[in-house]
Structure 1
Amino acid sequence: MCCSRLLLFFTCLILILHLFAPTLAQLVPYSCSDKGNYTSNSTYRANLNTVLTSMSSNTKISYGFYNLSVGENSDKVNAIALCRGDIGTDECRSCVNTSSQDLLQKCPYQKEAIIYDTKCMVRYSNRYIFGLLEASPFPFTSVLNASDVDAFTQVLGPLLERLKKLAAAGNSTRKFAAGKETAQDFQTIHALLMCTPDLDELDCKSCLEQCTAAVFSSCCYGRQGARYLSPSCQLRYETYTFYDPTAEAPPPSLLPPSTRRTKGKESKPSRTTIVIVVLTIGFALLIVSNFVLYLRVRKSRQKVKCEAKHEISSVHESFIRYDFGTIGVATDNFSEVNKLGEGGFGAVYKGKLQNGLEIAVKRLSMGSSQGNIEFENEVLLLARLQHRNLLSIMGFCLEGNERLLIYEFMPNASLDHFLFDPIKQVQLNWEKRHKIIEGIARGLLYLHEDSRHRIIHRDLKASNILLDAYMNPKISDFGTARLLDRTENNTMRIIGTYGYMPPEYAQCGTFSSKSDVFSFGVLILEIVSGQKNSSFPEGLVSYAWENWRQGTPLNLVDPTLMVNSTIQILRSIHIGLLCVQENVNDRPTTASVVLMLGSESITLAAPKRPPFLMHTSSTGPDMLSRSSYQSSNNNVQASANDASITELYPR
């Protein structure tokens, strides 16, 4: 009797949810950030009112996208409004106005907030948000699974893939696509995808790939309808019409405003929904069995909550979101026995998953705003990077205040554990050291020229070079990295480690690929000498230069090296000194460094004096002293003990 009542209850619940599924999809999610607050009578609030009023009253929102900035410095407000591509100007303005007022009420004192109406999105922040990819979509899904999940998915997958390409290929005024496909049981799947038009095609595609990956993840697989929302893109699909059907055709590159619809209310549940309800009654037992199966799947997901595989970047690397409990078990609750080390933003632990795979887990310090930014930055960058000389990130965990990065485990730890240890350094013969130098150079070349984006690491040093079981080097720790969209860039805040920074970066905040070349030159000299840069009173670079100038460069070589490759060692010292020259234009490019390391037939130029030399009778007063270098810029944040300081900007 009890079981019968339970089955009857579930059947009725499912029927009700079928009827109200469109209503559930109309919920208006919003988010208030804790990254800063303002007061009601502040300049920031006045600027915020101006921005939101301007957007909602602007008569030029012809294509559903608007961005605006008002104010200066800490009171500057950056705002974005994005309307769905199938609605007209009047409806867009009305949605933006309503959403703006709702957002002010829901987030009355937060400097950063976002709201997602079904027809528009409004967002504002005190940080720069234009043209930046910010994905990590979160889902709002139906509780109902398709009656035939495999058949449903076989139709949904190609539909989303087709619309993703159409939306990403849009222009600077609209990146939007809508379409439908017929599925089983008389159903038609309707889908809509869009990005903020200030993204380029690759970033839009990457954002939508994360949404589509979430659709087919273990937490959301087989649902009859869902919305996936992020600041940079959105995805929605349903088994009923929820957009203007005339938008299904690919839009022209520039659609005249006169042809846009000024009204376009979402369709009410169609006859298809009624048919679904009737069929549900007829197949009540089948639905109940599906619901029981759903409960079992949900129970198993409590062990690994949403291990979502995100196909990120053009190579579609498997990328998993892990449950905190899973990582806790793998690391024995982050025990001290499993701790591999600790840096400026948290500790690194060794772990072992249930399938036997060994992992390294970086647990970012809780309550650190810098750690949060590093988390976002490192995940964003590493998920896109694939190279044999870069550390592979396997996934991440984000639950409450916990932020974890999960990497492939490197059994030989970092280069500094071998290089600067009097006992272990004998394991690094010259052949292995030269192999490490070449591997680091190839990894840098990929970052600077061969990856989708030009990436500057900005904190290259021995502790950030990890070694696999075969002593192959892998560049790690991208929390300080920056994307570069031109030859060089500037920053107001200097980060990194003293002794590895080039002068133009330490003094003026100017960084380029030549900044990493300088750090690489210091690293070459450390690998040759087996000594830290900071071990020399005048600095390793100064010591190497003086010996080179005096014709005694072999004084620099690690005495534990027993080699016949003196010429190759001298050539490596030569290349290292070329990399650390003071003038940026005198330093070789990363591509040139790779060629010079790989071929002894290439003639090397004579190195010029490096910076940071102490004032001596031989150097003269024209050279920059170490003390003046360290105090030349009040904005410099660097450490003398090799601990990295991360900038407060993710890109």
Structure 2
Amino acid sequence: MKLIFVVFLLVLYVPIWVSRFCSVGAVQDPLIYFISSPVSSPTTSFIPPVSASMTAFAPGTLQQKGIEEEHKKGESGKRMVLLLIFICGALVVVVVLSLLCCWNRYWKLSRKRKNARCSDVEKGLSLTPFSGKFNSLRMVSNRGSVSLIDYKVLENGTNNFGDDKLLGRGGFGRVYEAQLEDNLRVAVKKLDCGSEDAKREFENEVDLLSKIHNPNIISLMGYGVHEDNGFVIYELMQNGSLEDILHGPSRGSSLSWHTRLKIALDIARGLEYLHECYKPAVIHRDLKSSNILLDANFNAKLSDFGLAVADSSHCKNKLKLSGTVGYVAPEYMLDGELTEKSDVYAFGIVLLELLLGRRPVEKLAPAQCQSIVTWAMPQLTNRASLPNIVDPVIKNTMDEKYLFQVCQLQVITSPYLYFNFLHPLFVGCLFKFEIFIV
């Protein structure tokens, strides 16, 4: 900046230099001054005055006029040269100033990027270049909203992705527990991005989770790319997925009636944020018990946003049918009509899982399956038979009054009557849950 200021002062002084140079050049030639000046003599001249006709033809007078004309031509030439010099000098100064401004801007930007990289390193996140085929992720990284974590850091943190660190398996990959710098424990989802669908889901999840921040939605810690694998790094949820607890070896014994209501409320809050608060609204498209993670205090958070989509008509019409059997809304399966209500239907299925302790679809025989909705719906509206179908783990620990309210909520999320999260009946049921839990 100081250099630019000095050059600017030089530009201001150029006209002064030129004006002084012109004034110096304007001094009369000594010879002309000598000829044109009268010669004074201390003595009186006795030479008679010359007549006007003789003066006109005097050779000295003609010589004086010729010298004056040549002097004028020389002066005009000097002025032209000085004008050209001034214009060229001004152009040079403008070019120099422009270059200095560009250099100053480039220096500031490079310094800002360097500081950002240093900040990420101080947080314990190693940044490296990544594959050019993940184009949308380059934009995410440039915005600085999510950190690109070096593959070596992930490899060391997961013990070379050993089975002793394995937390679970998914459609496109596996989830591992990892310990990064500063003893930070995270969950690392390793995805095989060899197919276009897998790569698209990976990019979509990183992009969405880098923008969405809510207590009931999983937090994105970073991501990584190595060869054909993509890595999504989440906060670690100590109690794993709701599916593992409900349908695993413990059969939901650690989930009391109160805890199950709290989990249901957390899921509803997460969906409410996606549908009503975040703009544009986001449809999860794959809400299920395996995508609901629980922390050490059984706080529930929504995860796995690979299939999620912003609620805009130009996007929804181009999507192919996706989801998990048992959780897909009937109208979406039959007509391909995707709305927020598709998530609400899946939420009702999760409520049934929490209440009944059963899977969404159960095999009765090798070629015969039964839906939890088909089996439970007739009994949910019958107060006499309702207590008999509840999960035995919580059967003797709940208040029947709240049981009927939960069933009311499950009925309105059924394909026959379900509404969105702003429906008064839905809001009223959730409000009662909140009062009971608090």
Query: Which category describes the TM-score, using the shorter chain as reference length?
Result: 0.5 to 0.7
Query: Structure 2 counterpart of 1:429, which letter?
Result: S
Query: Structure 2 counterpart of 1:589, which letter?
Result: N
Q: 2:204 aligns with which of 354, 361, 377?
A: 377
Give yes or no for contact 1:307–1:322 (8 Å, CA) kept in 2.
Answer: no
**Where does residue 342 of structure 2 map in the other structure?**
515
Q: 2:150 aligns with which of 315, 319, 323?
A: 323
Matched, 1:305 2:127: yes
Alpha-carbon distance in structure 2 between the residues aligned to 1:214 and 1:516? 40
The correspondence of residues 250-649 of structure 1 with structure 2, limited to 5 A, is 304-306=126-128, 319-421=146-248, 423-485=250-312, 489-491=316-318, 493-535=320-362, 537-551=369-383, 552-561=385-394, 562-582=396-416, 586-592=417-423, 593-599=426-432
The correspondence of residues 70-109 of structure 1 with structure 2, limited to 5 A, is none
Residues 295-321 of structure 1: CA distance to partner in whole angstroms, max 9, x if unpaired? Answer: xx9xx9xx933499x9979xx996211
1:559/1:379 Cα in 2 relative to 1: closer, same or farther (>3 Å)? same
Residues 47-85 of structure 1: CA distance to partner in whole angstroms, max 9, x if unpaired? Answer: xxxxxxxxxxxxxxxxxxxxxxxxxxxxxxxxxxxxxxx
Cα distance, 1:399 vs structure 2 = 3.1
1:483/1:408 Cα in 2 relative to 1: closer, same or farther (>3 Å)? same
Query: Structure 2 counterpart of 1:574, which letter?
Result: Q
Give yes or no for contact 1:311–1:318 (8 Å, CA) kept in 2.
Answer: no
Residues 554-591 of structure 1: CA distance to partner in whole angstroms, max 9, x if unpaired? Answer: 23211111324211122112111210123xxx422123
Alpha-carbon distance in structure 2 between the residues aligned to 1:463 and 1:480? 14
Alpha-carbon distance in structure 2 between the residues aligned to 1:567 and 1:386? 35
Alpha-carbon distance in structure 2 between the residues aligned to 1:213 and 1:337? 41
Alpha-carbon distance in structure 2 between the residues aligned to 1:549 and 1:467? 30
| Secondary structure, counterpart of 2:267 in structure 1 | helix
| Secondary structure, counterpart of 1:535 in structure 2 | strand
1:601/1:392 Cα in 2 relative to 1: closer, same or farther (>3 Å)? closer
| Secondary structure, counterpart of 1:511 in structure 2 | coil
Cα distance, 1:412 vs structure 2 = 0.4
Alpha-carbon distance in structure 2 between the residues aligned to 1:516 and 1:487? 19
Cα distance, 1:219 vs structure 2 = 7.3
| Secondary structure, counterpart of 1:362 in structure 2 | strand
TM-score, normalized by length of structure 1?
Answer: 0.45
1:187/1:477 Cα in 2 relative to 1: closer, same or farther (>3 Å)? closer
Larger RCO of the pair (alpha carbons < 8 Å, separation 6+): 2
Query: Structure 2 counterpart of 1:558, which letter?
Result: D
Query: Structure 2 counterpart of 1:568, which letter?
Result: Y
**Greater displacement, 357-366 / 317-326:** 317-326
| Secondary structure, counterpart of 2:169 in structure 1 | strand
1:214/1:411 Cα in 2 relative to 1: closer, same or farther (>3 Å)? farther
Give yes or no for contact 1:517–1:579 (8 Å, CA) kept in 2.
Answer: yes
Give yes or no for contact 1:544–1:553 (8 Å, CA) kept in 2.
Answer: no
User: Which consecutive unaligned segments of at least 5 residues does structure 2 have?
Assistant: 1-97, 131-137, 364-368
Q: 1:217 aligns with which of 104, 109, 116?
A: 116
Cα distance, 1:396 vs structure 2 = 0.5
Cα distance, 1:422 vs structure 2 = 5.2
Identify, as 1 or 2, the structure richer in strand: 1
Alpha-carbon distance in structure 2 between the residues aligned to 1:324 and 1:530? 40
The correspondence of residues 223-262 of structure 1 with structure 2, limited to 5 A, is none
Give yes or no for contact 1:393–1:408 (8 Å, CA) kept in 2.
Answer: yes
**Where does residue 60 of structure 2 map in the other structure?**
none
Cα distance, 1:507 vs structure 2 = 1.0
Residues 74-128 of structure 1: CA distance to partner in whole angstroms, max 9, x if unpaired? Answer: xxxxxxxxxxxxxxxxxxxxxxxxxxxxxxxxxxxxxxxxxxxxxxxxxxxxxxx
Residues 215-261 of structure 1: CA distance to partner in whole angstroms, max 9, x if unpaired? Answer: 6432799xxxxxxxxxxxxxxxxxxxxxxxxxxxxxxxxxxxxxxxx
**Greater displacement, 488-497 / 372-381:** 488-497
Give yes or no for contact 2:332–2:342 (8 Å, CA) kept in 1.
Answer: yes
Identify, as 1 or 2, the structure richer in helix: 2
Alpha-carbon distance in structure 2 between the residues aligned to 1:489 and 1:323? 35
1:182/1:564 Cα in 2 relative to 1: closer, same or farther (>3 Å)? farther
Residues 294-348 of structure 1: CA distance to partner in whole angstroms, max 9, x if unpaired? Answer: xxx9xx9xx933499x9979xx996211000111011011011111111111111
1:598/1:311 Cα in 2 relative to 1: closer, same or farther (>3 Å)? farther
Give yes or no for contact 1:488–1:511 (8 Å, CA) kept in 2.
Answer: no
Alpha-carbon distance in structure 2 between the residues aligned to 1:601 and 1:377? 33
User: Which consecutive unaligned segments of at least 5 residues does structure 1 have?
Assistant: 1-179, 194-210, 222-296, 603-651
**Where does residue 93 of structure 2 map in the other structure?**
none
1:395/1:212 Cα in 2 relative to 1: closer, same or farther (>3 Å)? farther
| Secondary structure, counterpart of 2:116 in structure 1 | coil
Give yes or no for contact 1:218–1:306 (8 Å, CA) kept in 2.
Answer: no
Give yes or no for contact 1:312–1:384 (8 Å, CA) kept in 2.
Answer: no
Cα distance, 1:403 vs structure 2 = 1.1
Give yes or no for contact 1:461–1:523 (8 Å, CA) kept in 2.
Answer: yes
TM-score, normalized by length of structure 2?
Answer: 0.66
Give yes or no for contact 1:519–1:580 (8 Å, CA) kept in 2.
Answer: no
| Secondary structure, counterpart of 2:117 in structure 1 | coil
Alpha-carbon distance in structure 1 between the residues aligned to 2:379 and 2:119? 64
1:452/1:317 Cα in 2 relative to 1: closer, same or farther (>3 Å)? farther
RMSD: 3.7
Cα distance, 1:480 vs structure 2 = 0.8
1:377/1:601 Cα in 2 relative to 1: closer, same or farther (>3 Å)? closer
1:470/1:492 Cα in 2 relative to 1: closer, same or farther (>3 Å)? closer
Of structures 1 and 2, the larger Rg is shown by: 2
The correspondence of residues 152-171 of structure 1 with structure 2, limited to 5 A, is none
1:191/1:486 Cα in 2 relative to 1: closer, same or farther (>3 Å)? farther
Give yes or no for contact 2:344–2:420 (8 Å, CA) kept in 1.
Answer: yes
**Where does residue 74 of structure 2 map in the other structure?**
none
| Secondary structure, counterpart of 1:496 in structure 2 | coil
